[in-house]
Amino acid sequence: MVWPCYLYDQQVLNEFTHGKQEKVNKTEFKEVLSDILLGMAAGLKRDPIVILRIDGEDLLEFINGPSYEAEMVSIFTQIESPDASLRDYIIKAFEKLSVDQGMPPSSDSWVLNNIVEPALQSCSAIDQDKLVSQEVFLTEFKKVAECVAQRLQEQPVIVAHSENTFDGSGIKRLLSNKFELEKSLNTALENVPKDKNGTISKEFLQLVLDAVAPAAGLPPVGAVEQIDKVVAESFKMLNADDGKTVKEDEFRKILTEILGSIMLQLEGNPVSVSSNSVVHEPLSSSSSLLQSSS
């Protein structure tokens, strides 16, 4: 997606002036712009974004394929509710489908209002007040999915898709490279306050870990809930959140042990995350950037 240049200018100015209406000189502006672009490049290298053109083809393949019944039975079980109507079941089922099945995120209001809802209305044969059983759900959902696929053929949806698996490999690379580890720790510790004896409070471990995270292939604190739980478990195991003060060498040792603990947990149980966002700005269907969702 190509954004107008003035949006970048505004972003840079807001970053530098914290939203205040102040002037900046050309040199300062270039420095901030460079930092933002480098940050964007690092983020895209870590979490590449793929632009998908969802045109109904993959959805038709899914509902007519061998995995349809098993996957939809699983979804039916997840959303089973005695008070829900057939319409409720169908809408919730679409929310659980992903681009892997050829469905753009129906949690997006545009997709719901322009694709899913019209498909429900056009399927006049659907008795939306019908008593919902597994068999009824499988049959009726397929009818609506065919209507959704038809609307997607008429009006394809562009989706920005990204996915990442945190398996500890980034931490392993960092820990195996002593020079890079020391460099990352030195940079992260530059602005951490020390008392008159040169000791550091363990309260700053989380802050320093967040600063080291990009080099370790980890997301920022709060970005991925499953990773936050792994980090919290590592802190608990190493008693790293007791708030005591330690010498800098000990602080570095504890942080390295925390990284090692996170690595072992992720090696045993990798965390996979993905995101899908509808791109509302029109894109040419002939663009070389577009890929099918398969």
My answer on whether 37 and 56 are in the same domain is no
Percent of the chain's residues with pLDDT above 70: 81
Most confident of 77-86, 97-106, 121-130: 97-106
Return the pLDDT at 236: 93
Judge if pTM exceeds 0.75: no
Q: Is the pLDDT of residue 12 over 50?
A: no
Whether residue 60 sits in one domain with residue 30: no
Picking from 220, 222, 234, the residue whose alpha carbon sits closest to that of residue 267 is 234
Indicate left, alpha or beta for 149 from its phi (over 0: left) and psi (-120 to 50: alpha): alpha
78 shares a domain with 63: yes
Same domain? 127 vs 202: no
Strand partners, 159: 52, 278
CB 165 within 8 A of CB 272: yes
Contact in structure between 117 and 103 (CB atoms under 8 Å): no
41 and 68 belong to one structural domain: no
Residue 65 pLDDT: 95
Residue 294 lies in a domain: no
Q: Of 142, 162, 182, which marks where a domain is finished?
A: 162
Residue predicted with more confidence, 156 or 198: 156
Q: What is the pLDDT at residue 24? A: 66
Average pLDDT over the chain, rounded to an integer: 83
Average pLDDT of span 5-20: 48
pLDDT value, residue 30: 79
Question: Which of 39-53, 89-103, 108-122, 246-260 has the weakest average pLDDT?
Answer: 39-53
Q: Is 61 within a domain?
A: yes
Is 280 domain-assigned?
no
Q: How far, in Å, are 45, 99, 289 from residue 285 at the CA level?
A: 25, 18, 9
Average pLDDT over residues 111-121: 92
- Does residue 227 surpass a pLDDT of 90? yes
Q: pLDDT-derived band of residue 153, with 50, 70 and 90 as boundaries?
A: very high
136 & 206 share domain: no
Beta strands at 157-166 and 271-278: parallel, antiparallel or unpaired:
antiparallel
Say if residue 157 is in the same domain as residue 210.
Answer: no
Asked if the model's pLDDT at residue 228 lies above 80, the reply is yes
The proportion of the chain whose per-residue pLDDT surpasses 90, expressed as a percent, equals: 54
In a domain, 109, yes or no: yes
d(CA 54, CA 292): 7
* Same-domain status, 129 and 173: no
- SS3 (DSSP) at 254: helix
- Tell me if 60 is assigned to some domain: yes
Look at residue 236 and tell me if it is in a domain: yes
Token pair in block for residue 249? 């060498």
Is residue 60 located within the same domain as residue 158?
yes
Residue 46 has pLDDT above 50, yes or no: yes
Give the residue from 132, 162, 192 where a domain finishes.
Answer: 162
Domain of 187, in residue numbers: 168-269
pLDDT over threshold 90, residue 85: no
pLDDT at 286 over 50: no
Same domain? 65 vs 37: no
Span of 45-49, 118-122, 266-270 with lowest mean pLDDT: 45-49
- Residue 44: per-residue pLDDT: 63
Question: Domain tally for the chain?
Answer: 3
Same domain? For 71 and 125 the reply is yes
Do the domain assignments include residue 87?
yes
- What local confidence, expressed as pLDDT, does residue 243 receive? 84
The answer to whether residues 150 and 191 belong to one domain is: no
Edge-to-edge strands, sheet with 49-54: 271-278, 157-166, 49-54, 291-292
- 287, part of any domain: no
Q: What pLDDT is attached to residue 220?
A: 86
